[in-house]
A and B are shown apart, each in its own frame.
Chain A
Amino acid sequence: MSDEKKYTGYPPYAPGTHIRESDIQERKISYSWWEPEVQYAWSAGHAMNVFLKGLKNGKIMGIHCKPCKRVIIPPRMFCEYCYGPTDEWIELPDTGIIETYSISYLDSDARRIKEPILIGVIDIDGADPHHGFMHYFGEMSKEEIKIGMKVKAVWKPENEREGSITDIKYFKPL
């Protein structure tokens, strides 16, 4: 496009003008603003539902796979080894051993903290080896914690439980 055709005052290939905060606040420019209602509901599914309901009652629920003779925790509706449906619900003890752990100097919002949080995976007793879930550790120092340590769940009082993994406060040394 030649220069003499540029009669509108707008550049033919406008490099663009950034909208400033004040343009919006003072409504110098025309715009539409919309906040759509986007709600979601995330379901835990059947197996995790039984597990979470169990936590509310102070129980750790595992599930059995007959062909593999395996007790799975956290529970699933099918066995990922044989793809068959799992069959029997089993109440497991609230004890286990530390499978692996981490000493974290960052909190859950990634802020630096002085006193570290101890977290890790607990092999739940009664389930197959290396079957367990993640949780906090307490009543132990970062020097004391070690892999293979026996631990036991510390539960919230019954009236404070809500069917969540945090119904267990932490795992303490047994």
Chain B
Amino acid sequence: MTFGEKQTDPLAKTHWRGDMQADYFYPAGVAGDKFFKHLKENDSFLATKCNKCDKVLFPARLYCEDCFEEIPDADWMEVPATGVVRLFTIATLNAHGEKLENPKVMALIDVDQTDGAILGVINMVDLNKDYIGLKVKAALKQKEKREGTLKDIIHWELV
């Protein structure tokens, strides 16, 4: 070991290991709460319609994100849990950079009847397939197993 030699491996010498606690708590908020409680009991999504700019906001929001108009209860609407793939990517590595045994198709899905989109995983994996524009449907957990979070959507399947 000389002065100029660079050392990049923290485990090569005497070292200490530790865990940092960094818990993460994210309340869904007023509109999100309503959205997830609906998802828990139903096989559809909630969206809100802004009458001023004629836009259907998904996931449901209390205020229009374009014109800041408040959205009344009457303009909440139910939309089906189906959509069209806008974009997709195929992950072959996990978050630690290790090779995945089963690659994952992750897609941004335009939800039908709305102007919003949601990220999801498509269960059918074909490395040579172009998923853009394909119709998909959310596969939801059994109602009694749902928790009222995004994880209630197991994956999306091609229709």
Considering the complex, which residues of chain A in the window 38-90 have a beta carbon less than 8 Å from any beta carbon of chain B?
Answer: 38-46, 48-49, 52-53, 77-78, 85
The answer to whether A38 and B20 have CB atoms under 8 Å apart is yes
- Least CB distance from A37 to B in Å reads 8
Interface size class of B (residues with CB under 8 A): 35 or more
Interface string of A20-39 (1 = CB under 8 A from B): 00001001011111111111
The answer to whether B7 and A41 have CB atoms under 8 Å apart is no
Residue A163 at the chain B interface, CB threshold 8 Å: yes
Residue B116 at the chain A interface, CB threshold 8 Å: no
Which residues from chain B contact A34 at a C-beta distance below 8 Å?
23-24, 26
Q: Of A31, A49, A77, A85, which contacts B28 at CB under 8 A?
A: A31
Total residues of chain A contacting the partner, CB 8 A: 38
- Cα separation A52 to B13 with both chains bound (whole Å): 10
The answer to whether A33 and B14 have CB atoms under 8 Å apart is no
Q: A36-B24, A39-B18 are in contact. Are A49 and B13 (CB under 8 A)?
A: yes
Which residues from chain B contact A37 at a C-beta distance below 8 Å?
19
- Least CB distance from B57 to A in Å reads 14
Q: A8-B70, A12-B70, A77-B3 are in contact. Are A33 and B23 (CB under 8 A)?
A: yes
B-side interface residues toward A, CB under 8 Å? 1-3, 7, 9-28, 30, 32-33, 35-37, 62, 70-74, 147-150
Beyond A10-B62, A36-B24, A41-B11, list 13 extra A-B contacts (CB 8 Å): A12-B70, A27-B147, A31-B149, A33-B23, A39-B18, A40-B19, A41-B10, A41-B15, A42-B10, A46-B13, A49-B13, A78-B3, A163-B14
